[in-house]
Structure 1
Amino acid sequence: MVKAKSDPRMGAILSDRAHDCVKSDILLGALEPGEKLQLEAISERYGIGTAPMREALNRLSSEGWVERRSQRGFFVSPLSFAELEELVKTRIWLETLSLRESIAHGDQDWEDAAILSYHRLARTERVLDTGGGAMRFNPDWETRHHDFHLALLSACGSQLMLGFCVQMMERSIRYRNLSVKFNMLRRGDALAEHEAILNASLDRNADEAVTLLAAHYRLTLDGLRERLFPDASEG
């Protein structure tokens, strides 16, 4: 009997699916910081074989979402206040420059897209009440929030800059989601802050818009420091 050859394309598809599933659950907080990712168990969880799952975990390790520890296997990367602080600082650098450029060059389509994205965000609840005082993160809000900030930056004229901004946005998501998961959300959806940033941008007041954007991120950092890293120094 001739043994059928495996299709390498299917292996790549399964590996990509495993990568996306694990990464999504890390971002949502379903896989918690420091959690061990036992290969057989996680393969069963997602219904994907161990070979493509191992390939996905190696890829996630190279991207920083997972740690591979010698002789111990794979673990979800831990939270780090130093990383969060660096993320916020870098986002401010990148996004204030991008927002200035968007305000300078954005046309009517840019304004319309920014307004539409804000209204969609405003109509979406940040968290959902699951009963008994427990809260559940609403993934639709995260999508709307991402779309709003990206819409403001979209006329900056540099796809490379936008790509860097998206990477920083993505790495910030896990910290926000975990603050919701542990029922420690206090700033709500910060809708008034988003509206103020939008209005300053539409008024073409770049100095005010970037000041508000930077303050928005610093407030987020302060809140997450208080909730997730109470022992972190503010110096």
Structure 2
Amino acid sequence: MTKTTNDDTKSGTLVEMAHEKLKKDIIAGLHQPGTKLRVEHLKQQYGVSSGTLREALTMLIADKLVVAEGQRGFSVALLSAEDLEDLCRIRVLLEKEAIRQSIKHGDDDWEASVVSAYHILKRATKAFAENPKDEEILAEWERRHRAFHLSLISAAPSEWIRYFLDTAYKQYERYRHMFLAVAEEFYKDRDAAAEHEAMLNAVLERDADEAARLIEDHLTQSINEWVSYFEKIGAFASSREARDVKKAG
């Protein structure tokens, strides 16, 4: 049996730390889509060795945040309409099944948690509507919005569904740093509070079919708005570019 040394443990910890820091920075948009990730530059920025950084970047390939470009090193994965729409389809499928499971298995405590998350989100939505350019209020709204959606599915017994949804949410976060501009253009014409209230009512009435329909409508409308805006401002890679990057990876 191979004995794990302190050096091995330390190396593993450094790789994990570099991986988490890089992931956070890519999701936040500090490293823009398509940007070359040069090991010699980044090792100084993140305070780790070249070997540690390469291991962290390799892990980020599995997270679909980084692509390997043959002998040319690494770069940040591109954003594309195809990718966002594919994420939406997967999220719709998973959330519809998850909310059906929650309605079937959820108890009174689960209902109370959904009601609580809804009321907190309602306050955050009101604050955001009154201050649409305030990034701190937007960040709070995003946290409360995600918490409400998570509460809807929290009684689903399938741990795999929650795991895959968590993975999808992390990919969504790459697009969210541009969300403020989308909200300013589109959300003035939407009654997001009414959409969330309808989901809450479907849950309280234990109407799984209606809840699943509302989830699909809500998510699909949002993604269509995102795609429309991001394509207009040229934030997406072309379909050909996205395919070429996937092949290179």
The interval holding the TM-score normalised by the smaller chain is: 0.7 to 0.9
Residue 199 in structure 1 maps to residue 201 in structure 2:
yes
Q: Secondary structure at the match of 1:7?
A: helix
Give the superposition deviation at 1:134: 8.2
Give the superposition deviation at 1:48: 3.0
* Per-residue Cα deviation, 1:133-154 (whole angstroms, up to 9, x for no partner): 7857854444333322122111
- TM-score with structure 1 length normalisation? 0.83
Mapping of 1:51-130 within 5 angstroms? 51-124=51-124
Q: Kindly provide the amino acid, as one letter, of the partner of residue 25 in structure 1.
A: D
1:7 alignment counterpart: 7
* Per-residue Cα deviation, 1:11-33 (whole angstroms, up to 9, x for no partner): 11111111111111222222211
- Note if contact 2:99-2:153 (Cα within 8 Å) is conserved in structure 1: yes
* Per-residue Cα deviation, 1:49-105 (whole angstroms, up to 9, x for no partner): 332221100110122110111222111100111111111111111111110111122
1:47 alignment counterpart: 47
Greater share of residues in helix: 2
Structure 2 stretches lacking a partner, 5+ long:
237-249
Change (3 A) 1:16 1:71: same
Q: Kindly provide the amino acid, as one letter, of the partner of residue 29 in structure 1.
A: G
Higher relative contact order (CA 8 A, sep 6+): 2
1:214 alignment counterpart: 216
Greater share of residues in strand: 1
Segment of structure 1 superposing worse, 164-173 or 187-196: 187-196
Aligned mates of 1:48, 1:139 — CA distance in 2: 30
Structure 1 stretches lacking a partner, 5+ long:
none
Aligned mates of 2:122, 2:33 — CA distance in 1: 30
Q: Root-mean-square deviation (CA), in Å? A: 2.8
- Note if contact 2:94-2:161 (Cα within 8 Å) is conserved in structure 1: yes
Change (3 A) 1:37 1:18: same
